[in-house]
Amino acid sequence: MIKRICCLALFIVLVGCKSTYKIQEFSEKDIPAKPNYNDEKNWAVLPNSYFEELKEFTLNEIDTLQADVFYVYPTLNTEKNDPRWNVPIEDVEQQKKVLNKAVLFQASAFITSGKLYVPYYRQAHLRSYKMFKKGGEKALLLAYSDVKKAFEIYLKNYNKGRPIIIASHSQGSTHTKLLLRDFFDDKPLQEKLIAAYIVGTVLKSDIFSTLRPMTKPNEFGGFVGWNTFKKGNHPKKRDFYKGSVTTNPITWDNAKTTELYEHKGFLYSNKNIYQNALKIEITDGLVWSTNPKFPMRFFMSFMKNYHVGDVNLFWQDIRENAELRTKTWLAENK
């Protein structure tokens, strides 16, 4: 199943990509040092270490939150001239990307629902998907071993029996599919799962034994996921997403289309939230989005694949939905 899950993610970040990467063979001697997650410095975010820009998105005192959020970030090492298969967690440039891109513009959507936990991990280079059989599989499994260990330490040191939201994007979702299999699927911890937001990856409805896709906005205990393209566009391998779970990230039900007034908000890089900015249409395996209405929309009009915006485009929608699912879980589990 590990190979199946990793292969399903293979195509997500490579649509139309013909880049040439600087390559070296995957070698055990080049593997970065294994993180110790008992050491707080190896976590990008813990509830006691929110950085100032992240705090701007909080509404309540962190200690009043009754749930936790475990977030796994996407591929951030995409440099063509970087020969490394896995990034050391001490890499300062990658740490900045984790905090200033992934955490600030993705994980921030969940911080009104639970205390946020984000481990640094030895992420695999982007080429790991394209070169899956030539070192990429080993790099991705190494990255997952960190995520798994971090989650084990989280359960041991921090969780204290609280309900959990799992959130991820792209490579992060490659890993959380395995995490859900190893810790939640047909296991006692499933009872503590509020929701898993497994975004930016191929996600078959039967990938798990007992975890199911959620089709109601207040449902809990299952998972949601989607992949976003500009309306009318497909990946080159048109059928790759066919049959993938495609949640409506605005209505969170079985609606196939939405109107502008239903869209709650797109978080842009200027940290402004643009409401009523887009409409969507659900196709087989894709969320088709109109070009969002915001000041820089002209430049976005040239994009066909909105993968990079899978979370940002629906930031406020995700925020409010995570709050609703959390409140519902807490009310049902008094």
Q: What is the CATH number of the domain that holds 325?
A: 3.40.50
Res. 4 pLDDT band, cuts 50 70 90: very low
- Contacts of residue 266, Cβ cutoff 8 Å, sequence gap at least 6: 273, 274, 275, 277, 278, 292, 294, 309, 312, 313, 314, 315, 316
pLDDT band at 69 (very low <50, low <70, confident <90, very high): very high
Partners of residue 229 on adjacent β-strands = 288, 305
Residue 312 has pLDDT above 60, yes or no: yes
User: For residues 84 and 158, what is the distance between their CA atoms, to the nearest angstrom?
Assistant: 32
Cβ neighbors of 318 (< 8 A, separation 6 or more) are: 109, 110, 197, 249, 311
- Contact present, 142 and 7 (Cβ < 8 Å): no
SS3 at position 145? helix
- In angstroms, rounded to a whole number, what is the distance separating the alpha carbons of residues 257 and 245? 16
Tell me the C-alpha to C-alpha distance, in Å, between residue 184 and each of 145, 176, 189.
Answer: 16, 11, 5
pLDDT higher at 120 or 297: 120
- Contact predicate 199/307, CB 8 Å: no
Average of pLDDT values for 276-282? 97
- How many domains does the chain divide into? 1
Whole-angstrom distance, CA of residue 8 vs CA of residue 3: 8
Q: For residue 14, is it within any domain? A: no
29 confidence band (pLDDT: 50, 70, 90): low
**Is 211 within the bounds of a domain?**
yes
Cα distance between residue 177 and residue 185, in whole Å: 10
219-253 confidence digits (pLDDT tens): 999 999 999 999 999 988 878 888 999 999 999 99
Question: Domain range spanning residue 96?
Answer: 30-226+317-332
Q: What is the pLDDT of residue 67?
A: 98
pLDDT at position 287 is 97
Buried b (16+ CB within 10 A) or exposed e, 205-232: eebbeebebbeebebbbbbbbbbbbbbe
Q: Tell me whether residue 243 is in a domain.
A: no
pTM: 0.92
Q: Is 275 inside a domain boundary? A: no
Q: Decide if pLDDT at 278 tops 60.
A: yes
Residues whose CB is less than 8 angstroms from the CB of residue 295 and which lie 6 or more positions away in sequence, other chains included: none
Alpha helical stretches, state H, 15-63: 52-55
Q: Among 11-15, 25-29, 160-164, 236-240, where is mean pLDDT lowest?
A: 11-15
